[in-house]
Amino acid sequence: MRAGSLSWGTVCLALIAVTGCKVGPNYKAPAVPAPPAYSDDGHNGNWSTAKPADNADRGAWWAVYGDAELTDLEQRCATSNQSIAAALHAYEQAHDLVRVAKSSLYPTVSIGVAANRNRISSTRPLRPSNAAQDYWDFLIPLSISWEPDFWGRVRRQIESSSASSQATAADLENTKLSLQGLLAVSFFQLRGVDLQAQLLRNTIDTYTQALKLTQDRFRGGLSAESDVEQATAQLEEARAQLIDLGVGRAQLEHAIAVLVGTSATSFHIQERPLAGDPPSIPTGIPSEILQRRPDIAAAERRVASANALIGVAKAAYYPSIVLAANGTVESSDITQLFSTGSAGWNAGPSASQILFDAGRRRAEVDFAVAQREQATALYRDQVLSAFRDVEDQLSALRVLEDEAAVQQRAVTAAKRSTELSTLRYKRGLAPYLEVLTNQTIELTDERTAASLVAERIVASTRLQIALGGGWNAAQLPEN
C-alpha cells in the first residue's frame, strides 16, 4: 500500500471517529420548580429584590460591612486556609482526569530497544548443522494502535470527567464560601462579645458607685450593713460575668486563627465592640439561586457526569474496532540494523464483539441509570435546602429586627426604673433591695439588647452565604 493511500485512509477513519454517533442520552438539566418570590422578602428594609445594577462583581461579599480588619482576615483565609488548599488540589486532580480521558481520542505510539546474546542448544532437534551456536539479536520495535471512537464511548467519558471536574471546581468555591462565611460569623460573634464586655465594664463602674453610696449611707447610719453586702455581691457578680466572657472570646479567636491558617498561640484580635444595624442585602428572585449557589452547581454537574456514564456503559454493546501497525528493525549484526533488509512490519484493523456476558452489560447500564437518578434526587434536595436556608435567614432578620425594637424599649424603661428607685433610696423612701432588683433587670435587658446586635449582623452574614456570596455558575471552568 502506498504511503499516500494509507494517509488518506487514516484521515477518513479519523473523521468517522470524530463525527460518529454517541450512544446514550444527551444531557438535560433536571427541572426544579422555584417560587416566584421569598415569603419573607420585602417585609422590612434590610433586604430588597435585586435590580439590574446588582450584577456587579460581589465576590468580596464581606466588603458590604465596611470593616477593613474583616477584609484582611477574609483574604488571608482565601490564601492560607488548609481546607481551601485541599479543595484546590482536589480540583486539580479532577482536571487531570479530564486530560486522561481526552488522551483516549488519540493513537498510542510506543517504541523500544533490545539487545540479546543468544545461545542455541547443540542438541536441539532439527538444528541446521551450519547454524551458529552463539549470536546477537538487536531489535527496535515500533507499535502504533488506535481505537476510533465510533460509538462515542470516549467522548461520553470526557463529558463525564469534565462535568465531574466542574463539580469539583464548584466544591472549591463552596468550601471558600463556607469557610469565609464561618470566619465572618465568628468575627462578628467575637465583636458581639466585645460589646458585652464594654457593657459589663460600664455596669461595673455604675455598681462601684452604688457600692460607695451604700457605704457612705452605712457610715452615716442611714442604711443597714446588709445593703453594703448586697451591693458588694452585685459588683463581684458583674466582675465574674466579665471574666467569663474571656472564655468564649478566646475560643472564637482561636477558631479564627485556624480559619486564616495560623497558629492560635500567636494570633490576637484587638477588642472593638460591635455597632450598627445590618446592611441591606439584595436577595434577587428564588430562581436565581440555582446559579448563585456553588453547592447547587456542584450537584447539577454531578447529574451531568452521571448521565454521560450511561453512554459509556451502552457503548459496550457495540463492537470494539482497533487499528494497529507494528514495525521492527532486527539484525544479529548491529552494523546492519538499519539496512533495508532488517525492516519488518504488519498493519491492519481488528474487531471484536462480546456475544454473551450473562447480563453484565445490562447491569452496568442499569447501574449508571440508577446513579443518575440518585444524583438528580440529591440535586433537587440541595435546591430545596437552599430555598430553606434563605427563608430561614430572612425570617431571622425580620424577627430579630422586631425583637430588637421591643428590647430597646425594655432597656429604656429599665434604666428609668433604676434611676427612680435609686433616687427613692437616696431619700430614704425605698429599700436597697428595690435598687438591686432594678439594676439586675436593667443589666439583663441591656445584655439581651447587645446580643441582638450581634445576632442580627450574623443573620445577615448567613443570608449572604445562603445566597451564594455573589458567586455565579458562569464562573465554572470550561475544561
According to the model, what pLDDT value does residue 3 have?
44
Q: 253 and 264 in contact (C-beta within 8 Å)?
A: yes
- The correct answer on CATH 1.20.1600.10 for the domain covering 20-104+150-318+359-475 is yes
* Span 333-355, average pLDDT: 88
Average pLDDT of span 61-81: 95
Q: Is the pLDDT of residue 479 over 60?
A: yes
List the chain domain ranges. 20-104+150-318+359-475, 109-146+320-352
CATH homologous superfamily of domain 109-146+320-352?
A: Outer membrane efflux proteins (OEP) (2.20.200.10)
pLDDT at 385 over 50: yes
Q: What's the confidence (pLDDT) of residue 332?
A: 84
Cα separation, 346 vs 309, in Å, equals 35
Average pLDDT over the chain reads: 89
Q: Cell numbers at residue 407, please?
A: 428590647
**pTM (2 decimals)?**
0.85
User: What is the reported pLDDT for 18?
Assistant: 52
Strands (E) in 120-228, as ranges, are 134-146
Q: What's residue 233's pLDDT?
A: 95
Distance between CA atoms of residues 63 and 381, nearest Å: 31
Which pLDDT tens digit goes with each residue over 166-209? Answer: 999 999 999 999 999 999 999 999 999 999 999 999 999 999 99
Confidence of residue 2 (pLDDT cuts 50, 70, 90): very low
Q: Mark 185-208 as b/e (b = at least 16 C-beta within 10 Å).
A: bbbbbbbbbbbbbbbbeebbebbe
Task: Write down the pLDDT at residue 52.
Answer: 33
**Statement: residue 355 has pLDDT above 80:** yes
Following DSSP, what letter does each residue of 295-340 receive, concatenated?
A: HHHHHHHHHHHHHHHHHHHHGGGS-EEEEEEEEEEEESSGGGTTSG
Helix, strand, coil shares, percent, the chain, to 5: 65, 10, 25
Segment 92-108, tens digit of pLDDT: 999 999 999 999 999 99
Per-residue pLDDT of 130-146, as tens digits, reads 666 788 888 999 999 99
Set of cell numbers at residue 174: 463552596
Higher pLDDT, 411 or 1: 411
Most confident option among 30-44, 115-129, 324-338, 346-360 = 346-360
Query: Per-residue pLDDT averaged across 327-337, rounded?
Result: 86
- Residue 470: helix, strand or coil by DSSP? coil
**What confidence score (pLDDT) does residue 468 get?**
93
Q: For residue range 267-298, what is the model confidence (pLDDT) as tens digits?
A: 999 999 998 899 988 888 888 889 999 999 99
For the segment 415-451, what is each residue's pLDDT rounded down to a tens digit?
999 999 999 989 888 999 999 999 999 999 999 999 9
DSSP per-residue letters across 6-66: HHHHHHHHHHHHHHS---SPPP-PPP----SS-TTTTSSTTEE---GGGGS--SSGGGGG-
pLDDT tens digits for range 29-38:
999 888 888 8
Average pLDDT of the segment spanning 375-404: 96
pLDDT at site 16: 53
3-class DSSP state of 67: coil
Residue 441 contacts residue 411 (beta carbons within 8 Å): no
Q: Which helix (H) or strand (E) holds 347?
A: strand 343-352
Cβ 105 vs Cβ 149: under 8 Å: yes
Side-chain half-sphere exposure of 44, counting CA atoms within 13 A: 15
CA dist., res. 214 & res. 216, Å (int) = 5
**Which grid cell sits at 317?**
454493546
User: What is the grid cell recorded at 444?
Assistant: 439583663
- Provide, rounded to the nearest whole percent, the portion of the chain with pLDDT above 90: 72
How confident is the model over 37-53, as pLDDT tens digits?
888 765 444 433 333 33
